[in-house]
Every structure is written in C-alpha cells, then in structure tokens.
Amino acid sequence: MPRLPLSGQCRCGQIKIDVSEAPIMTAACHCTGCQSMSSSAFSLTAMIPSSGFKVTQGYPVIGGLHGPQQHHYFCDHCMTWIFTRIEGVDAFVNVRPSIFDDHTWFVPFIETMTKEKLFWVQTPATHSYEGFPPFEDFDTLINEFVSAQETQPDNSGSRSD
C-alpha cells in the first residue's frame, strides 16, 4: 500500500489531486478503448474511495468517450487522462496511478478485458477476466486485495539510504 497522503498532477501541472485513503483495489484494463485513450497496451487504475479523492488545483474536463456510463477526466491543456467516474458508482474513483508523485507501489491486482489484450502483454495481476468481474464478486475481490496488501512488505518506493 502507498504511504498516504498521495499527491499527483497531470503532465503540465495545471491539475493537481490529493488522495487521503488507500486504494480498495488496483487494475489493468486491456479494452481497446483504454488502449486508445492511454496510447499504450492497457490502462492502469487505482480505485480510490470517493471520500479520499480531491482535485486540489485546476478544472478537469471530460474527454475520451463522453458518457453516458463513464466520465473520463482530462487536463484541458496537456490532455493527461487523470481519473474516471462510473455512472451510478459513487463509492470510488478510478485514478490513473502513474500521475502520483510516487507510483512505485502500484501493481495491478486484477486485469480486465483480456479478450482484447495484445497477445504479447503480461501483467502480474492475481486475477484475470475476459470482460469485467461480475458485480457480485467485487466485495470478495476488495477484501482479498486489502488482505494481501496488509501482508506485503513496504513497497512504497521510499529508500532509507
């Protein structure tokens, strides 16, 4: 788990965020939409409780797909994809962990949409899904993720040298 609080910003620094609560789960998504929006083989997500997420500077704009199910928020200047809110899911925000000042702690716990992944891609995810996990599995996955993090050594990236 990361050391809290976490701070982050878009590429140009006009949008800044703070996170005060630990992620409830981490993921890599292989869908072709995420491949396009991230200009990469997959996107990364840290699912942050909504109560622990705050935009502290700037005004993110909706980009990528413009709803109705997902709202992807970007910096209007540098176009960095910062976070996503899912319509009807108010409990957490999907934050792109690579925007955190320290993201060395991040490892995807689940990977989704593997039916669309590029054939050469491998992640260390514990669970893989051809689509998205069934909604009824989320409580079990979250509990397993939190339990696994509690038993892991500190991988926050900080050094004591």
Percent of the chain residues topping a pLDDT of 90: 77
Element (H, E) at 57: strand 53-57
Q: What is the pTM of this model?
A: 0.88
**Mean pLDDT of the residues in the chain:** 91
| pLDDT value for 159 | 37
> Which of 39, 26, 3 has its CA nearest to residue 92?
26
User: Which one has a higher pLDDT value, 132 or 156?
Assistant: 132
Across 55-74, average pLDDT:
89
Give the β-pairing of 110-112 and 89-95: unpaired
pLDDT tens, residue by residue, 78-97: 999 999 999 888 999 999 99
Where does the pLDDT of residue 37 fall: very low under 50, low under 70, confident under 90, or very high at 90 and above? confident
pLDDT tens, residue by residue, 145-161: 999 988 766 554 443 33
Sign of CA dihedral 65, 38, 102, 74: negative
